Every structure is written in C-alpha cells, then in structure tokens.
Amino acid sequence: MSRFGEVDDQYDPHALEQRVFDYWDDVDAYEQTVEHRSDGESFFFVDGPPYTSGSAHMGTTWNKSLKDVYIRFLRMQGYDVTDRPGYDMHGLPIETKVEEKLGFENKKDIEEFGEENFIQECKDYADEQLEGLQSDFKSFGVWMDWDNPYRTVSPEYMEAAWWGFSKAADRDLVEQGHRSISQCPRCETAIANNEVEYEDVEDPSIYVKFDLEDREGSIVIWTTTPWTIPANTFVAVDEEGDYVGVRAEKDGEEELLYVAEAKHEDVLKEGRYDDYEVVEELTGEDLLGWSYEHPLAEEVPDHVDGEGVFEVYAGDYVDTHGSGTGLVHSAPGHGEEDFYRGTELELPIFCPVGGDGVYTDEAGKYEGQFVKEADDEIMADLEANGALLASGTVNHSYGHCWRCDTGILQIVTDQWFITITDVKDELLDNIEDSEWYPQWARDNRFRDFVEEAPDWNVSRQRYWGIPLPVWTPEDRDDDEDMIVVGTREELAERVDQDVDPEAVDLHKDTVDDLTITEDGTTYTRVPDVFDVWLDSSVASWGTLDFPSDDSRFDELWPADLILEAHDQTRGWFWSQLGMGTAAMGEIPYDKVLMHGHALDEDGRKMSKSVGNVVEPDVAIERHGSDAMRMFLLSANPQGDDMRFSWDEMGTMENHLRTLWNVFRFPLPYMRLDGFEPSETDLESVDDDLELVDEWVLARLQATKAEMTEHLEAFRQDRALEALLEFVVEDVSRFYIQAVRERMWDEEDSGSKTAAYATIYRVLRESVTLLAPFAPFVSEEIYGTLAGEADHDTVHMEDWPAVEEYWVDEQLEEDVALLRAIEEAGANARQQAGRKLRWPVPRVVVAADDQRVVEAVERHTTLLEERLNAREIELVSPDSQWGELDYSAEADMSELGPAFGGRAGEVMTALNEARIEETTLEALEEAVSDVLEDDESITEAMVSFVTETPDGVAGTAFGLDNDDRGVVYVDASLTEDIESEGYAREVIRRVQEMRKDLDLDVEERIALDLAIDDDRVADLVSEREALIREEVRADELGDLEVDNGARKEWEVEGVMMEIALEPLAAADASK
RNA sequence: GGGCCAAUAGCUCAAUCAGGUUGAGCGCCACUCUGAUAAGGUGGAGGCUCUCGGUUCAAAUCCGAGUUGGCCCA
C-alpha cells in the first residue's frame, strides 16, 4: 500500500478483507504488534475457553469480538497483554457425541471398545472441533495467540488441575462422601445441578394413604415419582401449618384422613369421595411423632428399618398451600432436601437403586426393573394394598440430562467433593475483591448463588476427563489416608511403575493402573474423572502452564480481566472463584465484564430447532467482518442481551462506506499537489488554518476524550457511537462539505495545504480510533495514509491522546450553533419553497443570547454561502423583530407547584396564546380564561416564543432541545436573483450532461442553449460568463452535435434545449 | 415454583439513578442537492412509554401486582 495510492471507488469489504489478511501475513502484523508492546506493563487477560463441540455462533462471535476490541485497545494504550486463547475439550458432551458417532448405547459398549480407544476418539473429535473454532475466530479478525492456545487436554494443563485440587486437599477441603446427587442413568454418572435441563413431561400423580400406627386413620401424601415409595423413610409436615382430620365416605365406607387444611377439598375431590366432614383441626406440631406403616412393607421386605423411621417430622421444605397434601413423602435416598433432613434426623439413608437406574436386591419384588418402568406395578400394588387414594397424571417440568436428554434420578452414591461450604465466608469475602461490570451482577446474582452453593461434587464416573489424582489404600475407597498427587513429577516419584514426567499423558488409560506403595500399604487410583467444570476453573494458572512453568505466575496472577456472558455467573465466574478460593485463598480475577446473549430479531434465543439461528459466516458474507463486528460492538456489553438486527448491521456497512468516501475524496488532490504529511504537519500550517479546520480538530479532541472514557468504563458501544457521530456528522457532512472548494483550488495556497494537513490528521486518528472495532478497513486506510516512517500496521499505533492545544470547547459550541442555524435555515427555505440553488435576498437570524450573536458575527460569510443568501441580518437578544407575533412556552416545573392539578390546562392555554408583545401582562390577558382571580403568570413560568409572520418562513434553532433563536428566510425574488437562479439551473444540467458523456473534469466544451421563454433567455444570458466558467465552455453558439449530446429539459415550467460537445471533437468535426 | 434482568416510534436504543410537555439513528414516504455520487440535504408520517393499581400538583421515571421475553436456580 503506497501513500495516497489509488483506492477502490467503492468500499468492497470482501476484497478489502482479503487484501488485509494477505498483508497481515506478509508483514507479520500480529507478531510485530505483540513484540512492539513486549516491554509494556503486563496485562493478564484470561480467555474463557469455549467448549469444543459445534461451531462458533453469534454469541461466541460477540464474545470474541468484545475480547478483541479490549485487547487491541489495551495494547494501543501500551500494555503487554496476555492473549492466549483457550479451549475446553473434556467432558460428557464430547463423550456423548462420540458415542453417537460410534453407535454406542451405554457404558458396556465403551468398555468393549476399550477405554484407550474411546479416549483417543474423543481427543480426535475435540481436536477437529478446535480447528473449526480457530478458523471461525480468525475469520473476523480476532487477534489472539492462535498458534499457541491452551488446551485442557494437554498434560501441562491437566497438571494445573491436579495441582489446584491438591492445594485444596492440603487445606482439608477434599472429601469423599455419601451424597444425594443427580444421576443420569444412561450415562451412568453423576451430573452437576447446572447440567440438569428442565423440560415439561407427563408423569404419574398419585395420592397415597399411609396407615397410622397406634391410632385410627391415615396420612395422605402426594408424589409424581411412585418409584421412590419403596425408599420412603419418613413424612415431613410444616410445623406451623394447619391440618385437618376429615371423615370421608365413599361407596358406603368411611375413612379418617389427615391432610393440610388448605388442601383437604382438593384431595377429597381427587379421591372422588361422596361426602366428608372435618372432624379435627390441628397444627403440624400436633402431628409430629405420629407413626405409620410402610405401604409396600410386604413387597419390599428389606425396606429401611431402625429407630425413628416411618414417623412424622417437621421439614422446612413443606408448603401447606402448594401442590400436594401438605404432608411430604420423604426418601433421603432420592432427594436432596430429604437427604439433608434425613441426615439431620440421623435416619438411615436407604437407596435401593443403582447408578444405572435399576432396582437392586434391596428393592425386593422390584429388583432388576428400571425404576420408571416399575411405576405401574408399584401403583397397582398400592391399589391392591388399599393405599392408593387417587392416581392420575400431571404435566410438570422435570430434570433431564443436558447431553442425552434422559430423565435424571436423584440417588445417593459415593462421590468426591471440594467442600466449599467450609470456606463460604471466605468465598463471600473474596467476591468483594472483584470489580464487576455491571456491578449488580456481582451484588445480586453472583452473591445469591455463592451463598446458596452446596459442596462441589467434582467426580464423574466417566472416561473423557482429567482423572482424579487420588489414590486410596487398596482395601478401602474413602478419604481416610488418601494420597492426592499434585504434579507429574510427584507422580513419577511416588508410583511403583516407571513414568517419564515429561512424556506422561495423564489421561485415564495411562494412570488407571499406576499404584503407589508407601509404608507397606498399596494405594490404587480412584477411577473417577473430574467434572469438566473443574477443568476451566483452573484457567487462571492453566493459561500460564503453571505449575510446570512458573516463570510468569508470580508477576501475572490473578487475572486482570475476564469477559463472558451472563450464563457464566453460575459457570466459569463461579467455578474460578470456588477453585481459586479453595486452592489459593483468593479470587483469581480482578475485573469481570459480563455481557448478555445474542437473541434473534424477535428477541427470542437463537435455537437450531426453531430455525432462527444467524450464522456468523452468513453475516460476514452479507456485510463484511468489519460491519458485523461494529454491529456486535454497538450493543451494550453489560448484562443486557443483544437483539440481532440485519438493518443495524447494514447501517454499519453504510457508515463504513461513508468513511471510505471521506477517505478517498482528498486523495487525488493530495497526490496531484504532492502533499507530504511528514514535511507539512498540522503544526507547520497553524497560521493558515481556518476556523472550520480548528473546529474539526477540536471535535477530534473531544471525540478522543469521550471514547477513552467509555472504553475504560467498558462501554465500547458508546465509544463507537461517539466515533461514528464524529466521522459521519462532523467530518463527512460538515467538514468535507466546507473544505471542498479549497481542495479544488488549482493554485497552491496556504489554505489548501492547511486543509490537507487537517484532514490528514483527522483521517489518521479516526482510523486509529476505529482500529479496535473494524481492524480491516482501518488497516487499509492507514496503509494508504502512512509513510515509510510509520508502523507496518495501524494496530501498533498508540491510542490517540487528547492534544490540549487543539481543544476548543467554545469553538465547538460556535459551530454547533451555526449548524443549528443552517439546518433551521434550510428548513425555512423549504417552507418558503425556494431551492438552495436559488439565492435569497436576506436571512434574518433572531438570536436569543450573546453567544449566538458572536457565532453569527464570526461566521457570517460561511452562513451566507451555506444558505445561499445575499445578506445575513442579525437581530440581537435585547431587540425584537417588528413583524413578529409571540406565544409562550410553559415550564412545567414552575407551573406544577403553582397550579397543581390545573397545570396541564394552563400550559395548553399558554402554548396557544398569540400576543404582539412579550410582556407578562399581555400574556395574562390572553390566558385569563384559565386563571383564577388571585393567580398570575411569573417570568420563571414561561419563555416567549416567536410565531412566524406571513410571507416569511421561520424556523427555531437550538442545542440539546434548548431554543437559542429563530432563522427567518426572506424568499422574495428580484431580477438579479432570478438571473442567477436560472443560470444555476442551466449549469447543473450541463454538468449532468458532461457527466453522462464521461468527460474529464478539465475538458473544455462547446455549448448551445435554446430557451423557450424570452424573458428567461435574457436572464440567463446576463450570467453567460458565470456559465462559461463553471462548465468550462470556450464556445457558445450553434452546434450540429455529432460527438456530444443534445437534451431537452423542463426548468421551473420553461423548456430549454441544451447541446454540448467536447472541443476536441468539435474541432475534428469542422 | 424462586432469584436477577429487560419491555419506550416499524427496527436498534437514549431519557429511568436525582419525577416536570418523550428523543436520536436506521427504515419508510415526499421533496431536494449534484466535481464524495450505489453518497449528501430538508421535511413528513409513525408513541394510550407492556397491563392494572398506588404515591404525587405532576409518573416512561418511584412503589405494588401482573403479562411477555432472557438468564440462572429448583
């Protein structure tokens, strides 16, 4: 890219991006940029590793775009940023994908296939997915260390997990325990609560009578899981709830039933009783200690037994007004709450169900059946035993395995835990050490979650994961005397077998058979692998390959910034806090930027089944990577979800097109004049700068300040908005318009050079500011503007600093006022029906304050040009323009307190009043109808507003909804104005014809005019010199057009025929 | 079922914290400009500010209840 070289006429994002990719390759742009900052202050960013199944969707694309914009911004601010991307590659999702691929149905198939082979298949699959993600991320210009990502399956990363876990064990936070967990019976493993997905399903809904011992009657419970009845251990009630004893009659038989008072009607209706009577009113407390008989005592002979079982206890999870009966069937073997309460009551924990969801021999009659399939038989048996009060079905949400969609079961098994509940206070304290954007996410959601978090079950009975580094004595499998290995080196030292710490892979197949023998005891490994959430929880040191590489840990850890979507509150934000606290006693990150999810155009989540997914590559295809990134980055990154919008993305492409036009406009002139920015910088042309140059430079300073502030507050959307406002409104629509004529000047002039230097500086800094957002187009523009002494890539530039010298807030306001006046003037012109091409004799600016007067006085000429006015007349604030009427605008903050409920009515009257002088007396007179005797209008309540008089068009102008004056356009015609107007009409049409003929700008022509109206023809001929000059016509007269064009036009109702031909052609034809 | 967040023009969002006549950009329509030209300018249409209550002289804004959507949890 040579300086001021030829560029595409049109912004073509695809060709441009391809060129930039090639260019980046050629000059090693990324590597140079990283190297350029290698001496800078360290900034430790940690990438939340995406899971390697599936490809990048709009959400991940948004996430990576955000990371990219902040990494680039930080680099430009001088930081040496850690930018190693990561990939989360273990876990059940990949296992189930591979199982599907291989046609497996359960664990047996895997065992037959061979653990080692299966692990290899999973590894291959994850690697393949990783490649896909890498190329997706690269495709929209994300600059991270793609050659060296951290992978959770690498030995050094797995070691980081072992190390963290062993540190937690050192702090006595690792234990093995008998716990109620969610089990997927197909995957035959525990799954985390946040891996449970809830779906609506139809389940049995049964009411069961438990006959009371030592007294008449039964208590009634309700459940949707008949299969848990065999494990019933106790019944829970609300101690403070109201219950009733009901004598109910059905088919001539009477029963005494106990249920919650609030539910007794519902329950009896379900049971289709003929009649009933409340015979007893009691509280939950009265029921405590009542004993009952197990309804399936015969079918399940080995049912739970012991002191205190089959009794009524208080339980705080009971709701006497919710669904059910107010008495809750409790089976500690099949429910978390039941488990905790059962443990508290020191009742036995009975779970006659295996990890595969099949009843064990403890389930008696039901042994060998899959639990859900035993529901019918259990209900039949209850019926036969006279215990079934009612049965039906219910539609409710029930947990399913996130991967294979199998209904989960609550069972009790032996699992390994990090007992984070032991350090709950430390966790809550540590939260305070992190800064969140937005802060409510930390103080509400995150805090709530941490407060309620149970111990972390980290063990999974699966294959594709990091093996638990736990060895237990051969004859036992609990946490007594366990050995936790922290590093590969330690492993090599302690195991009985030969292990090369450099080469060992650490996956299950390689460590399963390793044993440790110490003090005469042989230890074997616990066969479980880690919950995949544990993998990413150690990313803050895994990224650094710590502990195997300890060169950077002390300097960098903890992370300065992490940046993920809000689902990670319960995911990575949490797992890192838990692991960081358990292992290190600290939160492993300082700042969190939490963004939302990408929703579709209707605000629903994108989902494959709904078919509303927008693929990032389709978006890139339609609008280019830069436009897509800018769209994504224009969304608030703090908590809110983003609604996808093709329109908005298209708008971003339009803005880039505008930037492209702004950029390419001055190039030919600069090239022609040999403008050399390294010799002619802004400072050297200072004396020749015109006001508009100083203004655009002042706006540039304000834009830089604003952007920096927003980016530092993690509001890149506002930073981008500020930049686009500057480029589109200030540079394109105002500055370029204002300097065009200076650039067309064929003579060398100080003014022209000053304009070059100004626009050069503006463009250079604008693309530098844009670079983090739209790295491709910024690079190409920068490359065209930059010289030998500049960097190879815009991304090596320093973030542009505010230069105090050019800051000029007063000038900014001046021009803002002028632009407001101009805009109002254009409006008034249109109302008066006068095109801009036709001059108007005068424009009157009625200023409300001295600032407006100053602004107009300093820029009268500019205003005359812009509004095509022969004269600008200024009416100062202390005088009034004679022809005006007035009305009043009410200030509600004054009116409200004064008039109370009638304030609205008074406001309307004031708005509608018409008076000839701006006095309160006149105004009060005009609104006397709505005023009571003792009421008056005060100065503070109103501001007077001018009303347009007849024959003159007027439009108010102001800043930020604050009126500052009115512009009146006097559009009356004189002969001179008509002459110029018609001449301009002719010129415009000749120009258009020149253009149609593709004539060079410099080319001379011969011109012929035939105008149907003599008066108009005379008026036009008065301006012949002007026409000749503007259209470069050397000859005027009769033309036989051979080599040119002839066309008829209608101008303001007058027909005119115009013919022209290039002079070279005209000569040839003679 | 619970917690958090959101709901304002056809679309994307401001204005909500500190109550005072709802704004911008995009899109649409009309007009206009023409040496950036698949650009530019001006105007117009388009809002019971999700609903229902409450507080207040005054509510998009504060409070309560609900509806819809999103995330998380059960």
CA atoms within 13 A on the CB side of A441: 24
pLDDT band at A386 (very low <50, low <70, confident <90, very high): very high
Neighbours of A386 (CB within 10 A): 12
**Residue ranges of the alpha helices (H) in A529-639?**
532-537, 539-542, 553-556, 572-584, 616-623, 625-633
pLDDT band at A708 (very low <50, low <70, confident <90, very high): very high
- Nucleotide in closest CA–C1' contact with A336: B74
| Mean pLDDT of the A1033-1037 span | 79
Q: What's A281's domain CATH number?
A: 3.90.740.10
CA of A244 to C1' of B65 (A): 32
Q: Are residues A408 and A438 in the same domain?
A: no
Q: What's A553's domain CATH number?
A: 3.40.50.620
| Mean pLDDT of the A660-666 span | 88
Tens digits of per-residue pLDDT, A729-744? 888 888 888 888 788 7
CA of A987 to C1' of B30 (A): 26
CA of A1067 to C1' of B52 (A): 84
Q: Is residue A754 pLDDT above 50, yes or no?
A: yes
Tens digits of per-residue pLDDT, A593-638? 999 888 887 777 887 777 778 889 888 988 899 999 999 998 889 8
Q: In a 10 Å sphere around its CB, with 0-12 CB exposed, 13-18 middle and 19+ buried, how is residue A307 labelled?
A: exposed
pLDDT band at A40 (very low <50, low <70, confident <90, very high): very high
| Mean pLDDT of the A290-311 span | 93
Res A523: pLDDT: 95
**Residue ranges of the alpha helices (H) in A235-321?**
264-270, 284-287
Q: Are residues A928 and A859 in the same domain?
A: yes
Lowest model confidence (mean pLDDT) among A127-136, A529-538, A981-990, A1039-1048: A1039-1048
Q: Are residues A568 and A461 in the same domain?
A: yes
In total, how many domains does chain A have? Answer: 5
Domain assignment present for residue A906? The answer is: yes
| Mean pLDDT of the A576-588 span | 95
- Nucleotide in closest CA–C1' contact with A659: B36
Domain assignment present for residue A834? The answer is: yes
- Nucleotide in closest CA–C1' contact with A833: B31
CA of A382 to C1' of B70 (A): 43
- Nucleotide in closest CA–C1' contact with A567: B71
Res A946: pLDDT: 63
Look-up: residue for tokens 């969801």?
A357
Res A1070: pLDDT: 46
The bases of strand B with some atom under 7 A from any protein CB are 1, 3-6, 10-14, 20-21, 23, 25-27, 31-43, 57-58, 69-74
Lowest model confidence (mean pLDDT) among A36-45, A296-305, A401-410: A401-410
For A362, the domain range is 189-413
Which of A970, A991, A1025 terminates a domain? The answer is: A970
> How far is the C-alpha of A778 from the C-alpha of A766, rounded, in Å?
9
Look-up: residue for tokens 């002039």?
A749
Domain assignment present for residue A826? The answer is: yes
CA of A603 to C1' of B46 (A): 22
Q: Are residues A881 and A1008 in the same domain?
A: no
Res A1066: pLDDT: 53
- Nucleotide in closest CA–C1' contact with A396: B1
Lowest model confidence (mean pLDDT) among A75-84, A669-678, A944-953: A944-953
Q: Which residue is nearest to nucleotide B37 (CA to C1')?
A: A661
Tens digits of per-residue pLDDT, A133-176? 999 999 999 999 999 999 999 999 999 999 999 999 999 999 99
Q: Strand A589-595 to strand A409-418: parallel, antiparallel, or no bridges (unpaired)?
A: unpaired
Q: A608 labelled as ligand-binding?
A: yes
What percentage of chain A exceeds 90 in pLDDT? 47
Q: What is the largest CA-CA distance in chain A?
A: 131
Say what the ipTM of the complex is. Answer: 0.84
CA-angle at A52, arms to A50 and A54, nearest 5°: 105
Q: What's A757's domain CATH number?
A: 1.10.730.10
Q: Is residue A467 pLDDT above 90, yes or no?
A: yes
Q: Are residues A204 and A321 in the same domain?
A: yes
Res A961: pLDDT: 60
Q: At what angle do helices A424-431 and A572-584 cross, to 10 degrees?
A: 120
Q: Are residues A752 and A635 in the same domain?
A: yes
pLDDT band at A1006 (very low <50, low <70, confident <90, very high): confident
What phi and psi, each to the nearest 5 degrees, are found at residue A768? -65, -40
CA-angle at A102, arms to A112 and A191, nearest 5°: 80
Q: Are residues A690 and A778 in the same domain?
A: yes
Which among A847, A923, A916 is positioned nearest to A889, based on CA atoms?
A: A923
Lowest model confidence (mean pLDDT) among A209-213, A305-309, A489-493, A871-875: A871-875
> How far is the C-alpha of A747 from the C-alpha of A693, rounded, in Å?
20
Q: Are residues A127 and A238 in the same domain?
A: no
What percentage of chain A exceeds 70 in pLDDT? 97
Which of A345, A378, A413 terminates a domain? The answer is: A413
Per the prediction, chain A carries an average pLDDT of 88
Q: Is residue A1068 pLDDT above 60, yes or no?
A: no
Q: Which residue is nearest to nucleotide B20 (CA to C1')?
A: A893
Q: Which residue is nearest to nucleotide B35 (CA to C1')?
A: A1001
- Nucleotide in closest CA–C1' contact with A646: B11
**Structure tokens belonging to residue A846:** 């009625």
- Nucleotide in closest CA–C1' contact with A438: B5
Amino acid at A468: L
Domain assignment present for residue A429? The answer is: yes
Specify which of A128-137, A642-651, A894-903 reaches the highest per-range mean pLDDT: A128-137
- Nucleotide in closest CA–C1' contact with A606: B70
Q: Are residues A941 and A979 in the same domain?
A: no
CA of A307 to C1' of B28 (A): 79
Amino acid at A904: G
Q: Are residues A960 and A1010 in the same domain?
A: no
- Nucleotide in closest CA–C1' contact with A992: B34
Q: Are residues A581 and A697 in the same domain?
A: no
CA of A877 to C1' of B56 (A): 38
Domain assignment present for residue A1026? The answer is: yes
Domain assignment present for residue A493? The answer is: no
pLDDT band at A916 (very low <50, low <70, confident <90, very high): confident
> How far is the C-alpha of A892 from the C-alpha of A942, rounded, in Å?
9
Q: Are residues A271 and A151 in the same domain?
A: no
Which of A741, A764, A799 terminates a domain? The answer is: A799
CA of A50 to C1' of B38 (A): 40
Tens digits of per-residue pLDDT, A497-506? 999 999 999 9
CA of A602 to C1' of B7 (A): 13
CA of A816 to C1' of B13 (A): 24
Q: Which residue is nearest to nucleotide B41 (CA to C1')?
A: A826
CA of A321 to C1' of B65 (A): 20
Domain assignment present for residue A4? The answer is: no
Domain assignment present for residue A5? The answer is: no
